[in-house]
Structure 1
Amino acid sequence: MEAEFKERSQQTIAKFAGQKYGSTAFENEKRSYPKAMMDFLAGNREKAIAFLQSEDADPQLHQHTLGIDFYSSFTLKGQVRKYFYFGKYLDPSYRQRMKKAMAILTEQDPLTRKFSTPRKFWLKSSDNCNTWVDCRNTDNLKGMRNVAVYLFAQETGNEATRKIYKERLRRDIRTLYQIGQGEWDSENYLGHTITGYINLYDFAQDPEAKSLAKSALDWFFASGALKYWRGGFGGPSKRDYGGGNCVWCALATHELGLYFGDSPISDPNPSPDEVHLITSTYRPPPAIVALAKKQFPKPVELLNSKPTYENWKPGNDAAPQFYETLYFGQTFQLGTLAQGSGGDWNGFKMMAFNSGRGVDYFIASTGTDPTKISTASIGNENIAQYRNLVIWLNHQPKAPFQFFLPKSALVETSKGITFIKYEKTWLALTPINLAVEGINATATQKIQKRYPDDQILTATGNGKKFTGFALEVGEPETHGSWEKFQKSVIAQSCLNLQQIDKGEVEYQGVVGKVKLQYQGVNLPKVWRNGKQHNWRQHFAVYQSADGVKSPIYQGWKSGKLTIKAGGYEFQNQSR
């Protein structure tokens, strides 16, 4: 694993050799600092150091910290590694100025210090912080800020501030092991969170703080490993903006893939933020790497929960906000949320094995904007899943549906069922008061720039009270062949719509059955293979549907994470 990590690291460094860095205006250090650091590792040391210690593009905004930009969280993350890792290559006078600026910043808690003239860093008023340091509290930004201020206070001996931030870090990390992360499984921001906490692991002098950092990183990598597969990132996720629906497209795959690999193609467009990982001594435990490579007995079904976004606020830990079902077959992994998609969360995503490009995607949604298919929703979706079976129901009579699938997939219709053939995975889509219209050329054209190898299939409700579909997924291990799959579904599977006017649908698959009773904005009533599902028994952050504590288990507010994969076992418990 170490040899593979170093090989991927060298490939990444080589891609950034000689690249332009960008600027230091606003929070452009988000990319420019990591690019310069990568170029340094590639051998262009003088050029990189000259940029890293150049004067900031907005000096008037940083006079209180001697011209050093310690404001934006993304900039703080870069400043940390610049000073603590590359510091010995900086001009001594510049390094000393940075340290003096750190002392000024952390003399008091910078979140409590305000400017006499309120600054407007961004045009969006919601992002403006009249504090000495970035006040935004998304999980990734908060982690970068808290780690940086902690390390700056440590470096300058400002013990009162260091202790304040140590407790903030402890609280946030403990929450991971109690109820999970508010910004859960984000294809966009998980990598940013990881690279923020890795600074704490590398540069904390207090053994307890370093241990906290390792606990955080192990948890984040475990959550990422579950959704990562062969360079793809699939299943439900928070803050999913629709850009990650192909191999190496999700931002988080760059950081995760540096450790996990396991893809038939190398990362063509790595993130400069990987410099934090390449120069770090942290390594995820072997059990987490094996989890990412799906080295555990399959099939397996997990019933997981996700907390509300602002989970640190009083009362927000009373119950989960989202209930996830995640099923791993031999050739696919399929995940849904009981509440479906909406806002900035994705509630339905499947990845299927592809020998050439790693994985192919299948995504279902309502709405008409294919560029936002991951989270597009007309609202009030109800989804029931039992293993490889899914029912999706909507209360809009003429609801527009979209389905994202590869152009390589074969699409056939027989007996009113739309069959879709992937390389090794087969889908049977049975409409519920839904007219399947076929591949939509206009919608497909809209996604071509980002997804040239994929297409959009559309369908529209026929005017009845409820609309939706049932989905059954098969593979060689369960059905033998594509032809046998089609025949068995036509002969044995059955959609019961006798109570559809009451929002009740049952689907009998070739193996097993699932039933859903629509409940609008509330959790649907679900029967899994004949047994009504008790949502109170779905609180665990991670749990197997059959009660076995593998491949991953974390009870609700248990404070303990267990992983068993690839012959390895990992356990960690919060303090």
Structure 2
Amino acid sequence: METEFQQRSKEVITKLAGSNYGTTSFESEKKSYPKAMIDFLAGNKQKAIAFLQSEDADAQSHSHTLGIDFYSSFTLKGQVRKYFYFGKYLDPAYRQRMKRAMKIFTEFDPLDKYFPTQRKFWANSIDNCNSWVDCRNTDNLKAMREVAVYLFAEETGNKETRELYKKRIIKNVRTLYQIGQGEWDSENYLGHAVTTYVNLYDFAKDKEVKSIAKAALDWYFTSGAVKYWRGAFSGPSKRDYNQGNCTWCSLATHELGLYFGDSPIGDSNPSPDSVHLITSSYRPPAAVVALARKQFSKPLELLNSKPTYENWKPGGDSKPQFHETLYFGHTFQLGTLAQGSGGDWNGFKMMAFNKQRGVDYFIAATGNDATQISTSSIGKDNVAQYRNLVIWLNDKPKAPFQFFLPKSVKIETKKVKTFIRYEKTWLALTPINLTVEGINQTATEKIKQRYPNDQIITATGTNSTSGFALEVGEQETHKSWEQFKQSVVSKSRLNLNQISNGIVEYQGVTGKVKLQYQGEALPKVWRNGQFHDWRQHYKVYQNATAAQTPIYQGWKEGKLIVEAGGYKFKTQSE
């Protein structure tokens, strides 16, 4: 594993060497500092150090910290590694100026210190912070702020601020082990989380804090390992930017892939932020790497929960907001949320094996905007899943549906059902009061720049309650594509006798799933004939069979267990 990690790290450095750094204006250090640090590792040391210790473009705004920019959270993350890792290469006078600035910055909590006149950060920012430090409180930005302030206070002996931020960090990490993360499984921000906590792991002098940082990293990499596969990232996720629906397309895959690998193609567009991991001594547990590489018995079904985003507010930790079903076949992984997609979360994604590309995607959504396929929704979607079977319903008249899939698939229609053949994975889509209109060239054209190898199929509801049932097969379950089609046509049945009451049941070749539509509330679901009580499924990660493999984390139990590939990892918060 270490040899593979080092090889992938060298490839990242080679691909990014000599790139244009950019500027230091506003929070441009988000990209420019990592690019310079990568270039340093590539051998362009003089140029990189000259940039890293150049006068900040907005130095006049940072006169209180001697011209050193400690404002934006993204800038802080870069400043930490610049000082603690690359500091010995900086000019001694500049490094001493940074340390004096840190001491001033952390003499008191910088969140409680304000500029005399209102300061404009980003003109369009809703968080027009007037504090000395970035006040934005998304999970990743808050972590960047707290890790940096802690390390700066520890370095300069500002004990009171150090202790304050230590408590805040402990609280945030403990929450991960109690109920999970509000910014859960983000295709974008998971990458920022791990590159933040390696700073704490690498540079904290307090052994307890270092162990807390390791606990955070172990948790984040475990959550990433569940959704990562062959260089791609999929399944339901919060803060989905609709940019990650292909191999190596999401930021999280760049960071996770350094450790997990297991892709037939290399990362052609690596993230400069990888420098934080390349220069870190942290390594995820072997069991977590095996989990990412799906080295466990399949098929497997996980029943997971996700907390509300603002879980720190009163009552925010009383129950999960989202319930996730995640099924791993031999050639695919399929995940849904009971309430479908909406807002900034996606509620339906599937990855299917592709020998050359790593994976192909299949995404379903309501709505008409193909460029927002991951999170698109007209509201009131209800989804039920049992293993490889899914029912999706919406009660809005003439509801628009859209499906994202590769151009390489083979599509057939047989007795109303639409059969879709991936390389090794087979889908049968049965419409429910839905007219499948076929490939939509206009919608496909709109996604061409980002996804040139994919296409959009659209459909429209014909009744007040419409949707589809999905059945997924593969060689291990149906032996051949022809037998899959024959079995579905002859054995699978859609029961619409009670659809006027919002009840639909789908009997698959093996197993069945039933959904009673509940509008904005969680749907009533029967999985293979058994009523599914959401109140009994609060666990963050749980095997549907109740076994504690390959991953287990109870609700408010503070314990995480991973067992895969012959390795076992267990950690528990106090």
TM-score class, shorter: over 0.9
Which residue of structure 2 aligns with residue 94 of structure 1?
A: 94
1:380 aligns with 2:380: yes
Which residue of structure 2 aligns with residue 483 of structure 1?
A: 482
Which residue of structure 2 aligns with residue 531 of structure 1?
A: 530
What amino acid maps onto 1:271 in structure 2? S
What is the distance in 2 between the residues matched to 1:127 and 1:365?
31
The 3-state SS of whatever aligns with 1:77 is helix
What is the distance in 1 between the residues matched to 2:25 and 2:125?
19
The 3-state SS of whatever aligns with 2:272 is coil
Which residue of structure 2 aligns with residue 507 of structure 1?
A: 506
CA deviation after TM superposition for structure 1 residue 241, in Å: 1.2
What is the distance in 2 between the residues matched to 1:282 and 1:381?
41
What is the distance in 2 between the residues matched to 1:245 and 1:344?
15
Which residue of structure 2 aligns with residue 148 of structure 1?
A: 148
Cα deviation code 1:108-162 (max 9, x no counterpart): 0001111110111011251211111011111110111100000000000000000
What amino acid maps onto 2:26 in structure 1? F
Which residue of structure 2 aligns with residue 552 of structure 1?
A: 551
What amino acid maps onto 1:559 in structure 2? G
- Structure 1 stretches (4+) deviating beyond 4 angstroms? none
1:288-307 aligned at under 5 Å gives the runs 288-307=288-307
Unaligned runs of 5+ in 2: none
Which residue of structure 2 aligns with residue 132 of structure 1?
A: 132
TM-score, normalised relative to structure 2: 1.00
Aligned length: 574
Cα deviation code 1:235-289 (max 9, x no counterpart): 0000001000000001100000000000000000000000000000000000000
The question of whether the paired residues in 2 share the 8 Å contact of 1:465 and 1:501 is answered with no
Which residue of structure 1 aligns with residue 212 of structure 2?
A: 212
Cα deviation code 1:155-206 (max 9, x no counterpart): 0000000000000000000000000000000001000011011100000000
What amino acid maps onto 1:140 in structure 2? N
1:458 aligns with 2:458: yes
The question of whether the paired residues in 2 share the 8 Å contact of 1:390 and 1:471 is answered with yes
What is the distance in 2 between the residues matched to 1:542 and 1:343?
23
What is the distance in 2 between the residues matched to 1:556 and 1:254?
30
RMSD: 0.5
Which residue of structure 1 aligns with residue 311 of structure 2?
A: 311
Cα deviation code 1:487-518 (max 9, x no counterpart): 00000000000011111000000000000000
What amino acid maps onto 1:304 in structure 2? N
CA deviation after TM superposition for structure 1 residue 60, in Å: 1.8
1:12-23 aligned at under 5 Å gives the runs 12-23=12-23
1:169-568 aligned at under 5 Å gives the runs 169-462=169-462, 464-568=463-567
CA deviation after TM superposition for structure 1 residue 314, in Å: 1.7
The 3-state SS of whatever aligns with 1:221 is helix
1:79 aligns with 2:79: yes
Unaligned runs of 5+ in 1: none
What amino acid maps onto 2:4 in structure 1? E
The 3-state SS of whatever aligns with 1:371 is helix
CA deviation after TM superposition for structure 1 residue 521, in Å: 0.6
What is the distance in 2 between the residues matched to 1:537 and 1:453?
42
The question of whether the paired residues in 2 share the 8 Å contact of 1:541 and 1:554 is answered with yes
The 3-state SS of whatever aligns with 1:218 is helix
What amino acid maps onto 1:55 in structure 2? E
Cα deviation code 1:393-416 (max 9, x no counterpart): 001120110000000000110000
The 3-state SS of whatever aligns with 1:273 is helix
CA deviation after TM superposition for structure 1 residue 61, in Å: 1.3
The 3-state SS of whatever aligns with 1:275 is helix
What is the distance in 2 between the residues matched to 1:181 and 1:82?
28
What is the distance in 2 between the residues matched to 1:61 and 1:571?
47
What is the distance in 2 between the residues matched to 1:310 and 1:84?
32
What is the distance in 2 between the residues matched to 1:299 and 1:344?
29
What amino acid maps onto 2:555 in structure 1? W
1:32-43 aligned at under 5 Å gives the runs 32-43=32-43
1:4-83 aligned at under 5 Å gives the runs 4-83=4-83
